[in-house]
Structure 1
Amino acid sequence: MTDHIFSWGHSKRYNDFSSYFRNKFNERVQKVSVDAGFTCPNRDGAKAWSGCSYCNNKTFKPDYCRLEIGISEQVKKGVDFFAKKYQSMKFLAYFQAYSNTYASLDVLKARYEEALAHPKIIGLVIGTRPDCVDEAILDYLGELAENHYVMVEYGVESVQDETLTRINRGHLFETSRWAIEQTAKRGIHTCAHLILGLPGESRGDVLNQAKVISELPVENLKLHQLQVHKGTRMAVEYERSPEDFMLFSADEYVDLVVDYLELLNPEIIIERFVSQAPRDLLIAPLWGLKNFEFVARVEKRLAERETWQGRLWKY
């Protein structure tokens, strides 16, 4: 089995992002994060003021992403940082923090096109909520995608409406389904973020999620273990009722990921299995593992179980 070439074109036991990216671009490509000053309908009062119960955006913003620095300057700083090592590298501008389609179309055009003006930027990765896109925005992104790499990353988080309501997400799963289908329909790359272990969800619920996502035109998938961050409503809930939370040990989560992969459409590219908040913002779980160390454990467990992504998937 070690020399077996899977449907994604290599012998790794899951359809990994780094191999896909290398094959797609035939050169080194790196994302550079951009903070374009957007907010979120769950924070500005359009839907709520408090945000999603788990959310603390400080957990994933690089230091050079500050609102007082313009988009062009942020892009330049990000490009210069990585270009010191690799002069021939190309870049994707990653609009990451908050909801990066939550503005008028004129504002979006100006901010995206400012990032694309840098000669080394070959495309955009846009993180947003599925309830923050409409036909006009997607039509525009579809036009951009004719000449640039454009991916929209949607915070789906769960496929269960009860869970989405509990975490104050502000939309139901049908909204995510619509957004993903309409985005893919326009030739725009799609990515879904999903959190495994949200309060109220069982192991069976998590594994069923893999089957539901496999039915959608999702190109990339980012999985995250549930983390409880300081300064969030979820931190208060965790302190009051820790028994409501399914916080996995690292080994338990490895087994869950392998079970999840077995049920997942093999065409879906896995961009990550875990995320890791800064230690000073993280309450639980405290694994002390780097991302590459966790990936190595998943790969080892896949080999031990002689299994692979999609082994139990049914079209």
Structure 2
Amino acid sequence: MKRKARHSDRESAGLGPRDWTFETAARVERARRPRPLRSRPRKRAAGARPAAPHRYAEVAQPRAWRGPLVIPGRSQVKALAPRVAGLLAVAFWAWLALWVSFSDAYYVSRVEVLGNEFLPAEHLVEQAGVPEGYHIFFVNPVAVRARLLALPGVREAEVRCRLPGRVTLRVVERKPVLQWRVGAEQFWVDEEGVLFPAAGALAEAVTVVEVDRAAREPGERVGADLVRGVQELAALLPEVAEFEYSQAHGLAFRMADGTRVFLGTEELAYRVQVLKRLLAELGTRGSSASEIHLEYRYPVVRP
């Protein structure tokens, strides 16, 4: 019976034995299936009203997602990791920049001065040029130190910036060892021979009056050898509180009786001994002198 059915199918499809294939068999099988009956739409009479829609009309339902659920694999995660890390880094640096720009901890709120004894702290802060409210990242310690060293009375300076908003100025002032007077101007002199403005009167300090100069500027040098010579004379002649200085005659002083003694600037200890012998000899003779010149090779006594 099966063979007869197959032969009848071939004959109905108009195919010979050689034309029968799996594709034609599937086509024949689909043709043998019963088709569903389709009702034709009824014709509406002329002039008839269309039927009203049913009160329970069907509502279109949202179409459900039928796509596959994609789970990222390990390779995709590795590919996205650098991008995510870059975005996090950009966000962090942006937040840090905003915090540094607007945080009060990064603005100067205090300027501390250390090591000053003669110079006022207000004068040092003004010279440093670091006002309060200035951003601490814009403070240049090298430039601030250079401005402090421009002061003649400052020998060394150090600038440090710390958080929160703190700037420390540490200075080493020049120590005055002499008082130097030129005309009406009063200066102090340190052991290096640097002149700087006097901040008052020094107790038990020797004064040197420069007689052949009209003016001096702070920061000028008179020479460390000259300063040591004056200190040596002050130790040898403690009764003398004021010396004179000139380029022509060097150091000089007036004795209690008004006699002017010129010592020069070299071999001061030897010349002081010569002066003492001359004074003793003049005392034995009962004579006096108005000027004694010891800056030359041989002493000169002028009555």
The TM-score with structure 1 as length reference comes to: 0.17
The TM-score with structure 2 as length reference comes to: 0.17
Q: Which of structures 1 and 2 has the bigger CA Rg?
A: 2
Bigger RCO of structures 1 and 2 (CA < 8 A, at least 6 apart):
1
Name the one with the larger helix percent. 1
